[in-house]
Structure 1
């Protein structure tokens, strides 16, 4: 019976001499087994052996009729303590696998009574291998192609993996088996497409894909478990032309970098990223910002180097059809009154139209019948810190606005004209 965990051996006699224990656990391999008596054919007593990097030969403690108490109240947290009579020590176990720990404590209790832990007799104590008592590796950085592992797997304990400047053309599937991975940095490679299975990395918080050849961000990733874990995403220096509407399902995002791409627009529903605080979209091809951009609450915003167009509130693009069609009227009503809909109730293409409905300045919905105008928007309304959007020091940017009726557009125009006169 063996168990990998962290161990601290506390001598209960030290306080008597005014001394204290170190108070820190050490990675170890614990074994329960028999130690044969030399020169006798009889089976030896049952011992607990603790092997660490500093003590590879292992420290042995007799278990049979030598346990004063077993503390297992916190076994569900991977913690337990074995109190021995002789020597007077407490063996504190932590960071153990819960299932293995339960079995191990059960085996220790049986050993105390002089019984084997299973119908199969306990084997001889065997020293642990170095790989079994090394601290699990949580961070690996590879910045050279010759250092990239071709025959060995990545350590399964990794939480931070960086593979840069290795000319990777695709994401290595071995990386997608690292279920504890929290940060994945694949910057400065030649990756053209992301596998859908990146969404299976349930602990992934930070994904860095800077300076690759990405042309799209897959919709499947937006609907994966990344919705609940990803809080930092760097897609800068790629070949992205647009982000999917579903991109705003990544509602845990706090930081988003999409600099130096070929973006011609931002997702129209970007306002759904309610936790977003840092947005950088420099050197793209953005002509204006989407209407819902004004609902963001940012700490830092950078839009420098985009070909932003001039605001033209007095020259709207009128696509309003009067009277409204039955489809437009019913669609607006379905959204306004939050009537449930789905492909099992209405055609799939209508579901898609409803999901990308525009929002009027009055807060009402509109689909295919609207008035569109480009207005000027002060970016300080959404961000504490704004990097100048042009070389002239301006913080005003054009934003597209939609109006569901002539009345709404007229009201907006009255407010706009009043503000310009002041």
Structure 2
């Protein structure tokens, strides 16, 4: 039985000697081996190999293919498995007094391997076949590939799994119509490039790739980006997202929960609006949404702090002279309640109030005064110079302009009158 992972063996005597460990694992092959002396015949099938010749742990690396052997029977002090779902675990041995740190392992393989180690520690028979105490071949380390680039359909693996240790996977021009579920088992992925395929829908399980920082979906057939993905672990990991050259008409308001995004590409879609809370993307620095169908920008666009913006080729409309008045007098009970909750930052969820009310408040409009409104508001449009939010601006049109229409909301007549932008 073997496990491919990164290993760091640390002596617990180091701190007492004033020494520090390297703090970095090395690629290794871990084997549960049968200790069969050369002078004795191998045990027959049906015998008791675990009892007569206990299993041991063999750690082999590229520099030491013969490996280092550790006894297991009654020699394990403790297992640390809190992060086993992330492919990490630690085995503390009694003799020698070392901690064996395991990382970047396939989580299911790691669980099985640890289970077998527990059996070996108790002196029980291990259910799976044990390896022989022989040097590991160089080919065994091929599974440690961290990068794989596939750019043709004929090279796409059909009968063989992707190396579990991949951190960068590109499968372009492969004719994929859906995301291969085998990719979603690659828990170490940091960059996933699925550009130039025919993918129509993204599985929510992409959000289970907890280390994913870059996702490239350029030139596919996507029509949406799901709310489930916006509320997944991608909120904390995703830095770069390329959705250009698809068929997306709108992004959900929850998209703005991907607050670690620094680069967003939305060129050549069918966008008719930005998420109106786009100003919440505080880390966004590069935004490209050229050649879409945007008629205007949301008011919170003013809150962005960009280094680069490209909105060329959109169908921007001229600001309307007269505002749209949707004020309600008196306010409805729903409006009053929602404004109170939102303005006072009172937490809410579908476990507390009906789901449709949560959706209404998630899509609440923000007045220029900072207060919120649902259905009672004044809507006005004006223009803004994109240089006010970005250092580098690509011209909005062929006429050399850098201004774009922006839509604003006002919770009262007083806010509308006091807005200098609207009185210009």
Fold equivalence (TM over 0.5)? yes
Structure 2 counterpart SS, 1:292: helix
Judge which range, 26-35 or 274-283, deviates more.
Answer: 26-35
2:307 pairs, out of 259, 275, 299, with 299
| Alpha carbons 2:166, 2:188 under 8 Å: kept | yes
| Residue 275 of structure 2 corresponds to residue 267 of structure 1 | yes
1:352 pairs, out of 332, 337, 359, with 359
Aligned to 2:342: 335
1:309 pairs, out of 306, 313, 317, with 317
Tell me which structure has the larger Cα radius of gyration: 1
CA distance in 2: counterparts of 1:353 and 1:389, whole angstroms: 33
Aligned to 2:384: 377
- Report deviation, 1:144: 0.5
Aligned to 1:209: 217
Aligned to 2:294: 286
- Report deviation, 1:129: 4.1
| Alpha carbons 1:332, 1:366 under 8 Å: kept | yes
CA distance in 1: counterparts of 2:357 and 2:125, whole angstroms: 66
| Residue 370 of structure 2 corresponds to residue 363 of structure 1 | yes
Structure 2 counterpart SS, 1:199: helix
Judge which range, 235-244 or 171-180, deviates more.
Answer: 171-180
TM-score normalised according to structure 2 size: 0.74
Structure 2 unpaired stretches of 5+: 9-24, 43-51, 72-87
2:187 pairs, out of 166, 175, 179, with 179
Structure 2 counterpart SS, 1:331: helix
TM-score normalised according to structure 1 size: 0.75
| Alpha carbons 1:6, 1:93 under 8 Å: kept | no
Aligned to 1:241: 249
Structure 1 counterpart SS, 2:391: strand
- Report deviation, 1:118: 4.1
Judge which range, 194-203 or 120-129, deviates more.
Answer: 120-129
- Report deviation, 1:35: 7.2
- Report deviation, 1:132: 2.8
1:220 pairs, out of 221, 225, 228, with 228
Alignment of 1:27-176 (within 5 A): 27=28, 36=37, 58=66, 118=123, 125-134=133-142, 136-176=144-184
Q: Describe the superposition over 1:114-152 as per-residue Cα deviations: whole angstroms up to 9, x where unpaired.
A: xx9947799862343444344601111110000111111
CA distance in 2: counterparts of 1:175 and 1:62, whole angstroms: 34
| Alpha carbons 2:165, 2:188 under 8 Å: kept | yes
Q: CA RMSD in A?
A: 4.3
CA distance in 2: counterparts of 1:179 and 1:6, whole angstroms: 14
Residues 395/93 of structure 1: CA separation in 2 closer, same or farther (3 Å cut): same
CA distance in 2: counterparts of 1:236 and 1:148, whole angstroms: 24
| Residue 374 of structure 2 corresponds to residue 386 of structure 1 | no
Q: Describe the superposition over 1:226-252 as per-residue Cα deviations: whole angstroms up to 9, x where unpaired.
A: 112111111000000111111112111
Structure 2 counterpart SS, 1:176: helix
CA distance in 2: counterparts of 1:222 and 1:371, whole angstroms: 30
| Residue 296 of structure 2 corresponds to residue 254 of structure 1 | no
- Report deviation, 1:209: 0.5
CA distance in 2: counterparts of 1:5 and 1:345, whole angstroms: 44
| Alpha carbons 1:208, 1:233 under 8 Å: kept | yes
